[in-house]
Structure 1
Amino acid sequence: MKRNFKEYNQQQNWLFPPSIEELIPEDHPVRIVNGVIEHLDLKPLIRAYSKDGQPSYHPKMMLKVMVYAYMDNTYSTRKIEKAMRENINFMWLSNKQVADHNTIARFRSQKLKDVFKDIFKQVVLLLAQEGLVKLKEVYTDGTKIESVAGRYTFVWGNALKTQKEKMARQLEEMWEYAQSIADEEDTDPTPPDFKKVDKEKVEKTAQKIDKILKGNPKASSKAKAKARYIAKNFPANLEKYEQQEQLLGNRSSYSKTDPDATFMRMKEDHMKNGQLKPGYNVQISSEDQFIVNYTLHQDTNDIHTLRPHLENYEYLYQNLPETLTADAGYGSQENYELLSEKGIKGYVKFNTFDKEQNKAGKKRKEKAPFHRDQLYYNEKEDHYVCPMGQRMEKIAQATKTTKSGYRQTVSKYSAKNCNGCPIRNVCFKGKNNRVIERNHALEHYKQKAREHLLSELGEIKRRKRTADVEPVFAHIKSNRNFKRFTHRGLDKVELEFGLHALAHNMRKKSA
C-alpha cells in the first residue's frame, strides 16, 4: 500500500531564496532588542575603542548580540560564538558576522564595564517614555547570589584575631621566660607592649630573646627551639594576617579565590541546611516588575545597603523616587532618617511590625502590661511612670555607633525604689531597681512608619511589594537558572548582573 508523504528533496533549489529578515517573525523578542538598542546613544561605548589597529566589530552589533544572548539564557562566550554561526536570530542581529569567543569576552569585560550603567539607564528612560514605568514609586528588595569562588576557601576575621592574640601570648610567655633566666645586664625593666603586635615588634623581640637564650646554660633546648620557631615564622605570619585584614575591611569574612566575595547564608542552599557560601548581596528597585535600579554589596544584611542604593538611583536619573516600599530588613533609625532627609515617603517595616499585627502578637501585648512599651511616658518632663505609679527618672544618656558610623542616642530611666513592691516579681526579675532603655528618635520613626504602613495606601503597597519585586528575583534565579555568578570581583559581577537586569527588562517589554 502506497503511503502519502509531502515531497522531500534536499537538492531542490529555491527559485527565490528567502532573506533572513523574512524568517524572523514580526513579534519576535529579537526585534525588540534590535529596536531598543537602535534608539540608544552609544557614543560613550564607541569612545572605548581605539582609532588605531585593525577595524573592530561595531559595538552596536556586539551589544545587540550580548543582550539577546542573556535573554536567550546563553551566557558562555563560546556558546554565543556558536550561536552567531548557527542561530538565525543571532545571524540576523550580527548581519552574519561571527566574532570569536575571546573578542566577545573582551567586549563584555573591558568595553562595557565603564558605560553599561549609562546604557541601562537609557533603556529604563525609554520604558518611561512609553509609559511602562514612571520612576516615582519603587519597591526595593535584596537577594544573595553565590560567587563562582570555592565554597571552602574562607578567611574569617575572628580567626585572624584569635591567631594574632595567640601569637602575642606565646611571644609574651617567651619574653618572660627569657627575662627570668637572663643575666642582670640583659634584663629589660620596660617590657614590650604585647597587646598589639606587628612584624617589626616581633622581629626585635625575637632578636632580644635569642640573644639571652644563646649560650645561656639555664635555657632549655625546648625553649631555644620555640624561640627559633618564633623568629622564623611569626613575622611572615603577621605580615600575611595584616594583608588579609586589609582585604577584609569591615567584613567578617572573604574567599581566597574571590576576595571581594563575603560568606553569606544562602536560602538556595544545595545542602538545605543554610550553609555559609561566598556570595554577593544584590539589591534591586522595581516598578511593575521592571528593574529600574540595581547595586551589588558585600554586606551580609540589607540594613546598610539602602544609602548606596539610593545614591546610585540619584546618580542615574538625577532624581529620587517619591515613595519606597521595602520589608523589615531595611527598618532602622538610619534608614528612616535617610528617607526623611531625601523627601521620600517610606513604607518600610521595622523588625517587630508583623508580630504586632498578627493575633498572637496582639494577645501577647495585652498580656504584657509591664513591658517597656506599655509604660506611660511623660514627654514634657522626660520621665516614665511604672505600673505602681512611681516615677522613673532619666539617669543616663549614651551614644552608640553602628557599623556604618551612624550615631544613635539611647536614654536610660530608673525607678527610685522597687524594694517591697507587691508586683515586683511580675514587673521585672533584676535585683536592683528597674532600669529601661529608650531610643526616642527610633521610636518616633517607628510610629511614623506604623502610620504609613497601616494606612489604606500602605496596605496596598505592602501587598503589591510581594507581587512586584519578589517575582523579579524568582524569574531571574529560577526561570532563568541564574543562581551563581560566573565571574570574580565586585565590578565584574555587577556588570554580569546588570546584563541579566537589562535582559529581564527587554523580555518583559516583549511579553
Structure 2
Amino acid sequence: MGYIQGADRNQVILLPDTLDDYVGGDNEVRAIDAFIDSLDIALMGFKAAPAKEGRPGYDPRDMLKLYMYGCLNHIRSSRRLQKEAARNVELMWLLKKVVPDFRYIADFRKDNAKAIKEVFKAFVKLCNRAGLLSHESVVIDGSKFRAVNADNKSYVSSNAKKVLLDVEEKISRYMKELDETDTAESRPGALTKEDIAGVPDYPERRNTQLTEALERMAGSGENHICTTDPESRLMKTRDGIRPSFNVQTAVESENHLIVHYDVTNECTDWHLLGDGIEASKAALGVENLEGIADRGYSSDEEILQCLLNGDTPTTHPNKGEKSRMFRFQKTDTEVTGEMLSSKDKDTLLLCISAGMLPEILQRGDVELEVLKRREQGSNLYLDKETGELVSYAEMKAQGGLEKVPVEVRRDPPLQPYFERDIEKDIVICPMGQTLFYAGLGHPNGKKDPPIRRYHRLSACLKCPNKCTLRKRRIVSFKEGETRKEEAFYEKARENRIVRKTSHRFKVITLSEEESSWDEWVILRFYPNQQHLRKRNTVAGHPYGTVKRWHGTGYLLTKGKLKAAAEMGLSFPAYDFRRVINLLGVKGIMEMIMA
C-alpha cells in the first residue's frame, strides 16, 4: 500500500475569488480587526493623521493588528512579523496585504510606548462593561523579566572592588611576564613579546569598565548598577541574580483577567501593594477593593495605609501568627462622631490612638484593644496561639523559656574562629568555607552601617560539620573587626547545646519611644485565610502563559517605558485569548460591537 500522495504542482486549480473567502467567520483575526478598528487611536496618543508630504507611513491600526496577531501566535521578532505578513494568509487579510518593513515594525513599538498601554486599558474597560470582571477582589503578584543587559555589564559595589583587585593583579602578572620575556633567551616554542603584549588588552578594558562603574555608583549612592540598561536592576530570579525588571500585575478573581500591570525596577514587592490596589480600583471603577498578595508584600506600613483607605490587604501574617498587629501610643484625644466618619488618614489615626475604632474599620476582620503595661522595664511577648500580649513573667510562667539538651556530634574544626578579609570583603568560616557579604546588620530592627553580615546558604547546607543547628549560619562583624571566636564545637563536645521546646511566644521589639509608653492601642487585622489559599490558582497562570506561550520571559527593549510598551502588547493578547475561550469569537465580536 502506498503513501498518501499530494496534488500535482502543475495541475490547474480554482482558488477563491476574494481574500475574504480564506478567513472563516469564526476566525479570531476578525475579532482582532473589530477591536482595533473600534479604538480612538488619536485620543490614545497615536499619530492618526497621515503625513501631507513625503512618503506615506503605515496606519497605526495596522501595526497594532500585526503586533496583536504576533503575540497571539508566538511571534515577537520584527523580522519574523515582516516575513509572516508576506506569506501568512490571515495576516494578508488582516493587513490588506500590507507588508511593513521590520525596522518600522520595531520603531512603532519603541516610539508609541505610552499610547500602547492605553490599548490594554481600553480592552479592560470593554471587559468591564461586558460584566466579565469581578469587583470584589484582585490577586496582586510580581515576576522578574530579564532585561537587555549582559551579566558582565552589571556591577555590585562590593564585588566590583574585589574583581578590580583581581584584574590589577593579572595586569601586574602580565607585565612581569613581559619583562621576563625581554631578558630571557629565546627558545623554540616559547611565547614571544608580541604574543604576550596583546594579552593585557582585555584586563585593561575591564579595569576601565570597573573603575567607571564604581565612580557612577559612588555618585548615585546605589550599591549596584547596570550599564547597558541603566533603568534595570540586579534582581533575584530562578536563574540567579540577573539584570531584570519587576513586572506587577493585578488579576481579577472571577475570570482571571489582568486588569492592571506596571513595570518597575524595585528589587522586591515590599512597598508595591498599595499602588497595585489603587490602580486596580481605577481600572474597575470601584471605591474599595480586596487585594490578595503573598508574603513578599508584607510591609506593615503599606498594609496599614490600605486599611485606612477602606481596602482589604489580604496577605499572610508573620509565621505562626493569625493576625497582623499595629501598635500606637494611647492618647486622651477627644473623639467626635465627625472624626469617626472621616476619611482623612491623619484623623483616623487620631481616633485609633484614642482607643476608638473609626467607621471605616468597623468590620469583622479588624479588632482594637487598649493594653496597659503590667511590669515596668519588661519586654512584651506575643502569644501566637491566642494573639495576646503578655509580660516576661507571664511568658516564663507558661513555659516560654523551657529548653532541653540536644546531643550534637561535631569534629574539631580547622580553626576555632571566623576570619574576615576586609580588603576582599569575605569571611572564612571554621571549616574553611568562604562566606559573602549579605547586607548591613539590623540590631533592634534598624540598619546599622558599621555592622556587616556574612553568610552562604549553599556552603552550610553541604557542610557535614557546621557550627549551627539551623540551615545556615549568619555571622556579623563590627567595623574594623577581623576575627570572631566560635564556641559551638566546644559546647558540643561538652554536651552544652540546648534547644527551646516552646515556640509559642514571640518577643515584641520595642523602640526607645515605645518602651516609655504606659498604655498601647493594639490594632489587629485578620486576613481571610481561604482567599490566601486561592491566590496561587489565580496569580501564577498569567505569568506562566505570557512567559512560555508568548515567549516573553526576556525583554527586547531597553528602559522602563519601552519595556512597559512591550508588556502592554503581551498582556492584552493574554486577556484577548482568555475572553475568546470564555465567549468564543462570535461572543467577543458582539461584545465589541455592543
For the aligned pair, the TM-score class normalised by the smaller chain equals 0.5 to 0.7
Deviation per residue, 1:198-253 (Å, 9 max, x gap): xxxxxxxxxxxxxxxxxxxxxxxxxxxxxxxxxxxxxx998864433455x65x42
Q: Which residue of structure 2 aligns with residue 154 of structure 1?
A: 154
Deviation per residue, 1:252-304 (Å, 9 max, x gap): 4232222222112211x2xxxxx211111111111222111111221221112
Matched, 1:374 2:403: no
- Is the 2:259–2:284 Cα contact (8 Å) retained in structure 1? no
- Is the 1:140–1:284 Cα contact (8 Å) retained in structure 2? yes
Q: Which residue of structure 1 aligns with residue 562 of structure 2?
A: 492
| Whole-angstrom CA distance in 2 between matches of 1:497 and 1:94 | 23
Q: Which residue of structure 2 aligns with residue 129 of structure 1?
A: 129
Q: Which residue of structure 1 aligns with residue 261 of structure 2?
A: 294
Q: Secondary structure at the match of 1:148?
A: coil
Greater helix fraction, Structure 1 or Structure 2? 1
| Whole-angstrom CA distance in 2 between matches of 1:480 and 1:354 | 40
Q: Which residue of structure 1 aligns with residue 310 of structure 2?
A: 343
Task: Say if 1:276 and 1:142 are closer, same or farther in 2 by CA, change over 3 A.
Answer: same
Q: Secondary structure at the match of 1:481?
A: coil
Q: Which residue of structure 2 aligns with residue 393 of structure 1?
A: none
Q: Which residue of structure 2 aligns with residue 28 of structure 1?
A: 27
| Whole-angstrom CA distance in 2 between matches of 1:29 and 1:94 | 14
Correspondence for 1:326 among 293, 300, 304 = 293
Q: How does 1:42-81 map to 2 (within 5 A)?
A: 42-43=41-42, 44-47=44-47, 51-53=51-53, 54-81=55-82
| Whole-angstrom CA distance in 2 between matches of 1:426 and 1:134 | 49
- Is the 1:139–1:468 Cα contact (8 Å) retained in structure 2? yes
Q: How does 1:352-367 map to 2 (within 5 A)?
A: 352=319
Task: Say if 1:377 and 1:84 are closer, same or farther in 2 by CA, change over 3 A.
Answer: closer
Q: Secondary structure at the match of 1:277?
A: strand
Matched, 1:279 2:349: no
| Whole-angstrom CA distance in 2 between matches of 1:89 and 1:307 | 43
| Whole-angstrom CA distance in 2 between matches of 1:296 and 1:27 | 35
| Whole-angstrom CA distance in 2 between matches of 1:72 and 1:49 | 30
Q: Which residue of structure 2 aligns with residue 170 of structure 1?
A: none
Aligned residue-pair number: 376
| Whole-angstrom CA distance in 2 between matches of 1:452 and 1:377 | 14
TM-score, normalised on structure 1? 0.63
Q: Which residue of structure 2 aligns with residue 470 of structure 1?
A: 540
Task: Say if 1:338 and 1:52 are closer, same or farther in 2 by CA, change over 3 A.
Answer: farther
Deviation per residue, 1:441-463 (Å, 9 max, x gap): 99956x41xx3324xxxx1x223
| Whole-angstrom CA distance in 2 between matches of 1:311 and 1:466 | 22
| Whole-angstrom CA distance in 2 between matches of 1:443 and 1:145 | 42
Task: Say if 1:107 and 1:91 are closer, same or farther in 2 by CA, change over 3 A.
Answer: same
RMSD: 4.2
- Is the 1:45–1:59 Cα contact (8 Å) retained in structure 2? no
Q: Which residue of structure 2 aligns with residue 211 of structure 1?
A: none
| Whole-angstrom CA distance in 2 between matches of 1:4 and 1:330 | 59
- Is the 1:332–1:442 Cα contact (8 Å) retained in structure 2? no
| Whole-angstrom CA distance in 1 between matches of 2:7 and 2:59 | 43
| Whole-angstrom CA distance in 2 between matches of 1:23 and 1:296 | 39
Task: Say if 1:239 and 1:154 are closer, same or farther in 2 by CA, change over 3 A.
Answer: closer
- Is the 1:137–1:324 Cα contact (8 Å) retained in structure 2? yes
Q: Which residue of structure 2 aligns with residue 86 of structure 1?
A: 87
Q: Which residue of structure 1 aligns with residue 573 of structure 2?
A: 503
| Whole-angstrom CA distance in 2 between matches of 1:49 and 1:92 | 23
Deviation per residue, 1:25-67 (Å, 9 max, x gap): 2222222212222222212334476744332211111111111
Shift of 1:69: 1.0
What residue identity is the alignment partner of 1:437?
T
What residue identity is the alignment partner of 2:84?
A
| Whole-angstrom CA distance in 2 between matches of 1:435 and 1:85 | 69
Shift of 1:163: 11
| Whole-angstrom CA distance in 2 between matches of 1:133 and 1:88 | 34
Task: Say if 1:82 and 1:346 are closer, same or farther in 2 by CA, change over 3 A.
Answer: same
Task: Say if 1:90 and 1:160 are closer, same or farther in 2 by CA, change over 3 A.
Answer: same
Q: Which residue of structure 2 aligns with residue 452 of structure 1?
A: 527
Q: Which residue of structure 2 aligns with residue 190 of structure 1?
A: none
Name structure 1 gaps, 5 residues minimum: 165-235, 270-274, 357-369, 391-397, 403-424, 429-433
| Whole-angstrom CA distance in 1 between matches of 2:212 and 2:397 | 61
Deviation per residue, 1:145-172 (Å, 9 max, x gap): 21231122221144579999xxxxxxxx
- More displaced stretch, 500-509 vs 471-480: 471-480
Matched, 1:481 2:551: yes
- Is the 1:324–1:347 Cα contact (8 Å) retained in structure 2? yes
- Is the 2:128–2:284 Cα contact (8 Å) retained in structure 1? no
Q: Which residue of structure 2 aligns with residue 119 of structure 1?
A: 119
Shift of 1:486: 1.5
Correspondence for 1:255 among 218, 222, 226 = 226
What residue identity is the alignment partner of 2:232?
A
What residue identity is the alignment partner of 1:453?
N
| Whole-angstrom CA distance in 2 between matches of 1:246 and 1:313 | 37
| Whole-angstrom CA distance in 2 between matches of 1:128 and 1:241 | 49
Report percent identity of matched pairs. Answer: 24
Task: Say if 1:302 and 1:378 are closer, same or farther in 2 by CA, change over 3 A.
Answer: closer
- Is the 2:321–2:387 Cα contact (8 Å) retained in structure 1? no
- Is the 1:332–1:350 Cα contact (8 Å) retained in structure 2? no
Q: How does 1:69-218 map to 2 (within 5 A)?
A: 69-110=70-111, 112-159=112-159
Q: Which residue of structure 2 aligns with residue 367 of structure 1?
A: none
- More displaced stretch, 3-12 vs 291-300: 3-12
Q: Secondary structure at the match of 1:302?
A: coil
| Whole-angstrom CA distance in 2 between matches of 1:7 and 1:426 | 80
- Is the 2:249–2:260 Cα contact (8 Å) retained in structure 1? yes
TM-score, normalised on structure 2? 0.55
Deviation per residue, 1:167-215 (Å, 9 max, x gap): xxxxxxxxxxxxxxxxxxxxxxxxxxxxxxxxxxxxxxxxxxxxxxxxx
| Whole-angstrom CA distance in 2 between matches of 1:35 and 1:479 | 24
Q: Secondary structure at the match of 2:554?
A: coil
Task: Say if 1:133 and 1:2 are closer, same or farther in 2 by CA, change over 3 A.
Answer: closer
- Is the 1:124–1:292 Cα contact (8 Å) retained in structure 2? yes
Task: Say if 1:71 and 1:348 are closer, same or farther in 2 by CA, change over 3 A.
Answer: same
Q: Which residue of structure 2 aligns with residue 366 of structure 1?
A: none
What residue identity is the alignment partner of 1:296?
V
Task: Say if 1:476 and 1:353 are closer, same or farther in 2 by CA, change over 3 A.
Answer: farther
Shift of 1:491: 1.4
Shift of 1:4: 10
- More displaced stretch, 330-339 vs 20-29: 20-29
What residue identity is the alignment partner of 1:124?
V
Task: Say if 1:71 and 1:378 are closer, same or farther in 2 by CA, change over 3 A.
Answer: closer
Shift of 1:313: 3.8
